[in-house]
Amino acid sequence: MKVLVVDSPMESQVQVARIFDSLNQTDRDMLDIKLSLANEKTYLERISEIDVLVIGPNSISLSKEISHAAKNARPDINILIFVSNDFYSSESFRLGLTAKARKVLPMNVAPLDLLQEFLQIQELQRACGRAREGSVIVVTQVKGGLGATTLCAALGEACSKAQKKVLLWDLDIESKDLARSLLVQESRGSVMSSWVKGTREISRDSINDAIVSLDLNSNLLPPPDSMPSAMDLLGRMESENLARKIIDLSRIKNDCIIIDTCGRMCPLTGTLLRIADIVLVLIDDSILGLSAIPSFMKSIRQYILSNDVVRFLRTGTTMSAEKIRNRVDSEGLFGKVCWELPSMPFDIAAGEWPGSGKTLYSLGTKKTITAIDKLSNSLGLYQSPGLKSQIQKLSSSSRIRKILGIAKIGAQNKSEEITVDSLDA
């Protein structure tokens, strides 16, 4: 959130800016506050870049003019007015109303009041799409070997190519398949270990140190570099706070966060299942796969807040989703929407991408790439241009057929012949 402080002289600007130091580091990181300073003559030059305009106490006499000029340039901008403690009264409130300010605050504003105000602004920005709030996709599987790691990597590359910021989080503490497949060195997990040990705070800066850049739009968060720390991460109840902090700070910087849980159930994954916007469960129609689904569904229902967040993804299956659903969920615990994802086809490249510097999204067949695009669209991650074009063509064809159908009905009623040429006319 970009905040511009307008006041004069410079000392007064700095004094107002220091009010934000009352917020603790975690809160500042979650709000992603970036402060800049300007005076009454220069603030309009930067108005297009900011989210919140703060008018300081020495500019109070010009607050109406400053506010109206800012609103003319940016109608959606949020304006706060800070006044001296002595002037914080009904008169200052009337001034704020005249200036169309969101709120008037005293210079000695309580940190919690300041935090509450900026959290409300952040929610407004998210609601109108001006603030990023990345979706959390937790990927799991009912049994091993269904391609969860392959899918996570492919979705990550697909999102990146669609110009979406994506974070992949590898929770495979033993083999670190996702990290190794993407050529990430094991030593990069030292920051995660320090979080678990409590020797370093989780902050925006430490997350930047922990993640490994895969390309311009995608990063990977590797598991701890030591097994004791890794086991503590997964097994300790205290990991809930750690996971929530990581997710909260990562949502700000990413359009989506894709977590490879390695199919493991533990306190940490329980927390992530509760946080998740979507729980993507990989299934197949083998004997072992089908028999594993009911018990797995029973397990995750203990953690998720709503069954509606679950999406079952068939990988390499010949059995339809409806048949699988009727066989394993006869009680209808998971609604129809949970079973509507398109299936992922078998692709020999699924065993060839690790260590290549690419993923199945680059190396797979056209059918596989189309399936990943459709899956991403269904999950709300992005919509590929090709897929969007197909949808538009289908919609156009449907509209034409509908028009022709209505026209033919009208022609029958009037005993006239309607043609495409007559419609164009």
Q: Would you list the domain boundaries of the chain?
A: 2-127, 135-383, 388-424
In angstroms, the CA 359 to CA 341 distance is 21
Q: Which of 24, 19, 111 is nearest to 56 (CA)?
A: 19
Burial (CB count <10 Å: 0-12, 13-18, 19+), residue 90: exposed
The predicted pLDDT at position 55 comes to 93
CATH of domain 2-127: 3.40.50.2300
| Domain covering 135-383 assigned CATH 2.60.120.260 in the classification | no
The predicted pLDDT at position 131 comes to 66
Could you write out the DSSP letters of every residue in 168-225? EEE--TTT-HHHHHTT--GGGGHHHHHHHHTSS---HHHHHHH-EE-SSSEEEEPPPS
Q: Tokens 């390499």 correspond to what residue?
A: 316
Beta bridge pairs of residue 170: 260
The predicted pLDDT at position 26 comes to 82
The predicted pLDDT at position 266 comes to 87
The pLDDT tens digits for 223-257 are 999 999 999 999 888 888 999 999 999 998 899 99
Q: Do domains 2-127 and 135-383 have the same CATH topology?
A: yes
The predicted pLDDT at position 417 comes to 37
The predicted pLDDT at position 250 comes to 93
> Helices 227-235 and 190-197 sit at what angle, rounded to 10 degrees?
60
The pLDDT tens digits for 56-70 are 999 988 999 999 999
| Per-residue DSSP letter, 343 | P
The predicted pLDDT at position 30 comes to 82
Where do the DSSP E strands lie in 214-361?
218-221, 256-260, 278-283, 310-314
Each residue's pLDDT tens digit in the chain (425 positions)? 899 999 999 999 999 999 999 988 888 888 888 899 999 999 999 888 889 999 999 998 899 999 999 999 988 899 999 999 999 998 889 988 988 899 999 999 999 999 999 999 988 887 776 667 899 999 999 998 899 999 999 999 999 999 999 999 999 988 899 999 998 876 789 999 999 999 999 988 899 999 999 999 999 999 999 999 999 999 888 888 999 999 999 998 899 999 999 878 888 999 999 999 999 999 999 999 999 999 999 989 989 989 999 999 999 878 999 999 999 998 888 999 999 999 999 999 988 999 998 999 999 999 999 999 999 999 999 876 555 544 444 444 445 454 455 444 444 444 443 333 332 33
Task: Specify the DSSP element, H or E, that contains 37.
Answer: strand 34-38
Integer-rounded Cα Rg, in Å, for the chain is 27
The pTM score is 0.77
Entry field: residues in the chain = 425
Q: Provide the pairing of β-strand 212-213 with 218-221.
A: antiparallel
The predicted pLDDT at position 35 comes to 92
169-190 b/e (C-beta count within 10 Å ≥ 16 → b): bbbbbeebbbbbbbebeeebbb
